[in-house]
Amino acid sequence: MATEGLDEDRLRRLIEVGRALVQQLDLEALLTQIADVAREVTGARYAAIGVLDDVRAELERFLARGIDVETRARIGDLPRGHGILGLLIRDPRPLRLHDLREHPRSYGFPPHHPPMRSFLGVPIVVRGRAWGNLYLTDKRDGDFDAADEEAAVILADWAAVAIDNAGRFEQQRLRDTLAAAEQERRRWARELHDETLQGLGGLQMLLSSALRRSEPEQVERAIRAAVGEIGTEIEKLRTLITELRPAALDELGLQPALESLADRVAAVEGVVVETDVALEGAAGEAGRLSPALETALYRLVQEALTNVVKHAHAERVEVAVRARDGRVELTVRDDGRGFDPEAPRGGFGLIGMQERVVLAGGSLEVRSAPGAGTTVHAILRADGPRSGGYAPADGGAPTPLP
């Protein structure tokens, strides 16, 4: 790759940015970062990324930086790829213009659009296929030059690698999610078959036998026994329903729900479970975390305790939840037999936990060693799981270009 036109500082910055981009797995954050860096290294006032549709005929998405939210709202609909933007769709090669308004294919500006003159566009090609385009406009000190074009091309190449990485990660994440969900369905099917259906089958046989008896005392004893069995089955179903969605989590909050979960695990499995929850620094006006964050934390603890019961053979488990510095930290520590983190492991417990943490915009660390117990440590954003959008650092928002 030729770099004759780039000065040393700009080339060093592009190399630094490339290393950061290929580690970014959140596509929204990645696109925003690409547009911001493109403005920085070329001196453009505005930058945008247009994402092509499946047939690569027009723009499916448009993300721009540099225009404030109010202006964006006044402009209206996002571009679809007409005019100059359409040139790069039909002919994916770098394009530089002194004044885009003078080009015969210029589509013009919609009302309230800020004035733009100089233009630089380069394609983003992922695995040999046009994926989208990087658009830069209104260079602050004149026209875009060959060095600007070279910098934009290098950045687009880095972007293509990073976008491919993010796509592969997302595909694997979805596969893991589906596998974990299927494993969970199998577990509930076994629970219902082995516990509830067999219990109801036994009740049916008991009552059928009572109907064939003639002595009132025998019928009464059978009915009383059936009533007792029904009570047992109701408790089993109540436990299953609580595991699916505990009422305490919705009605009272995370701390009571975790305490109730710990009591159930201790009563059923004979494991001492201690909870220590302090969320004052992250709770809202109602003294609660967001529903999505409370659910994520509860499920993480639930899955961690399930792993302890199934695999750790522990006698004691400590569950701690702390809010600090705009984040919530969760630690689940047991004194069980531990395991080798580098060894292959079956099941989907840790995969499911990793999925929840990633979706919540956090990080997960599992520390263990044979005979030394296991510690699960998760850090989640205190403002809850990511919505999938992005928060522009400079007030920028998706906006049309001509």
Question: Which residue, 86, 45, 35, 13, is CA-closest to 95?
Answer: 86
pLDDT, residue 94, reads 93
Share of the chain above pLDDT 90, in %: 22
Cβ within 8 Å of residue 43, ≥6 positions away: 139, 140, 141, 148
Q: Is the pLDDT of residue 384 over 70?
A: no
pLDDT for 129-187, tens place per residue? 889 999 999 998 889 999 999 999 999 999 899 888 888 887 777 677 666 666 766 76
Q: Is the pLDDT of residue 3 over 70?
A: no
Contact call for residues 144 and 49 (beta carbons, < 8 A) = no
Higher model confidence: residue 33 or residue 390? 33
pLDDT band at 119, cuts 50/70/90? very high
SS3 of residue 323 by DSSP: strand
Q: Is the pLDDT of residue 400 over 60?
A: no
pLDDT, residue 243, reads 61
> What mean pLDDT, rounded, does the chain reach?
80
Contact call for residues 223 and 210 (beta carbons, < 8 A) = yes
Question: Which residue, 310, 295, 187, is CA-closest to 245?
Answer: 295
Distances from the Cα of 388 to the Cα of 44, 49, 360, angstroms: 27, 17, 10
**Which residue's entry shows tokens 């792993």?**
307
Q: What is the mean pLDDT of residues 374-387?
A: 75
pLDDT, residue 402, reads 36
Alpha helix segments (H runs only) across 213-348? 216-244, 247-251, 254-269, 291-307
Residue type, 212: R
Question: Which residue, 79, 20, 71, 23, is CA-closest to 51?
Answer: 79
Contact call for residues 89 and 131 (beta carbons, < 8 A) = no
Question: Which residue, 222, 384, 376, 235, is CA-closest to 304?
Answer: 376
pLDDT band at 35, cuts 50/70/90? very high
pLDDT band at 293, cuts 50/70/90? confident
pTM of the shown model: 0.50
pLDDT band at 272, cuts 50/70/90? very high
Burial level of 256, CB count in 10 A (0-12/13-18/19+)? Answer: middle
**Residue 338 half-sphere exposure toward CB, CA atoms < 13 A:** 15
Q: Which residues pair with 328 in a beta bridge?
A: 323, 380
pLDDT for 174-216, tens place per residue? 677 666 666 766 766 676 666 677 777 777 777 777 777 777 8
Strands of 288-355, DSSP E: 316-324, 327-334
Contact call for residues 119 and 136 (beta carbons, < 8 A) = yes
Q: What is the mean pLDDT of residues 230-237?
A: 74
Q: Which domains does the chain have, with CATH numbers?
A: 8-173 (3.30.450.40), 248-386 (3.30.565.10)
Q: What is the mean pLDDT of residues 88-104?
A: 88
Q: Which two tokens stand for residue 112?
A: 């309230």
Contact call for residues 328 and 282 (beta carbons, < 8 A) = yes
Q: What is the mean pLDDT of residues 255-270?
A: 88
Distance CA 240, CA 232 (A): 13
Q: Which two tokens stand for residue 386?
A: 């990511």
Question: Which residue, 51, 42, 10, 3, is CA-closest to 159?
Answer: 51
